Amino acid sequence: MLKHALPDLFPVAGFRLGTACAGIRYPDRRDLVVMELDHGSHCAAVFTQNAFCAAPVTVARRHLDSGVPRYLLVNSGNANAGTGRQGLRDAQQCCELLASASGCAPAEVLPFSTGVIGEALTVSKIETALPAAVAGLADTGWGDAAHGILTTDTVPKGASRRLDIGGHTVTVTGIAKGAGMICPNMATMLAFVATDAGIDNALLQSCLENAVAGSFNRITVDGDTSTNDACVLVATGRSDLPAITTADSRYAMLCETVEEICIELAQAIVRDGEGATKFVTVVVDGGMDANECLQVAYTIAHSPLVKTALFASDPNWGRILAAIGRSGIADLDLAGVDIFLDEVCIIRGGEVAAGYSEAAGQQIMNRDEITIRTSLGRGNVSEQVWTCDLSYDYVKINAEYRT
């Protein structure tokens, strides 16, 4: 399966990034990232809906509610989740350390962590490495930051666009991490996107939520929602484009690009799923509403039997049929259901399609990228999610994660 190399990531004026090796879990590996927002920036964010949210998520939410941040602080190697009141104190102390090093207030720092759950965060290692990360702040630091936020990922993930809005050049750049524990109910494991456009904060939040709905909230690797998920969108206002204060055509153009960036990052996460060998698009159309389309799509995408058949390149379409049947759709008329593997129809009207052959199915299943499409035949709504197969390596990676 093709994993995309990190593309050129355009600098965003007013947004700087610095990294350092803190040795949180592994020696001599970038695992600490500082991101600086210029004065006058706006910031939007969405966080995990997991009830056992990590300490940095709690602190970040609280700080964001109190005003616009000046800094984002990210560590990999330790999630600081399931760590109780001490974890909250540690997350707050990290904010205070960066505030002291940069001259801002602790509430102007949003902390983010990713890595092993249930282990105490070694704040002293972050304290030691922070000066180097702050000293290295640069608007060209996106690539190093993309590496610095990784855990079990095998490749860094980034996307970048420059677009013309009314004769003004606007830049949107983002990075993300995630390979396992991926079934976001808001965002990905961690994602950070910045633009030099100026935009009203309420519009920025709406832009992010809409982008996340069609990207990070449409991916699954293993059906598990992380304790640490967060997605942040920053607008520095350093472009010469006049500030966007209403939902006009300029807003629509910017939001379209932000969503493109989020989709590219979300799909990169699936392509880098732990042990993944296939990239799979699951499309459900002909539904009465979006909820039932997604209900069917996720039932297929989460099915271990479907996912292992995909890994084996086995055209065992009975597993897809069974998943649709147990998805909980009320009054589903089987006579209206069609199922396709790419261009090959395997089920027509609830029965094996005339002319379908095992050889035709096998040809599709041998591909690295496959679309499973189900038509419910009961409406006009269509939705899609992206997933991957389930391989031996997924079990091995997660069995050995803490060893």
Instruction: Tell me if 14 sits within 8 A of 196, measured CB to CB.
Output: yes
* Cα gap 381→295, rounded to integer Å: 13
The SS3 of residue 351 is strand
The residue assigned the tokens 């990239």 is 279
Return d(Cα 396, Cα 210) in angstroms, integer: 36
For the chain, give percent helix, strand, coil, nearest 5.
Answer: 35, 25, 40
Residue 112, classed as helix, strand or coil, is strand
Cβ(284)–Cβ(324) below 8 Å: no
**Across 21-156, where does the E strand assignment appear?**
32-37, 42-47, 71-78, 109-116
338: left (phi over 0), alpha (psi -120 to 50) or beta: beta
Enumerate the β-bridge partners of residue 158: 175
Query: Are 34 and 71 in contact, with CB atoms under 8 Å apart?
Result: yes
Catalytic: which of 188, 227, 257, 299? 188
The verdict on whether 188 is a catalytic residue reads yes
Q: What are the C-alpha distances in Å from 98 to residues 107, 108, 131, 252?
A: 11, 10, 9, 36
Look up residue 270 and give its DSSP letter.
H
How many of the other CB atoms lie within 10 Å of CB of 318?
A: 11
DSSP-based three-state secondary structure for 24: coil
In degrees, rounded to 5, the angle at the alpha carbon of residue 187 between the alpha carbons of residues 305 and 291 is: 60
Going by C-beta distance under 8 Å and a sequence separation of 6 or more, which residues neighbour residue 40? 14, 236, 237
Tokens of 37: 């927002």
Interhelix angle 84-102/55-66, nearest 10 degrees:
50
Could you list the active site residues? 188
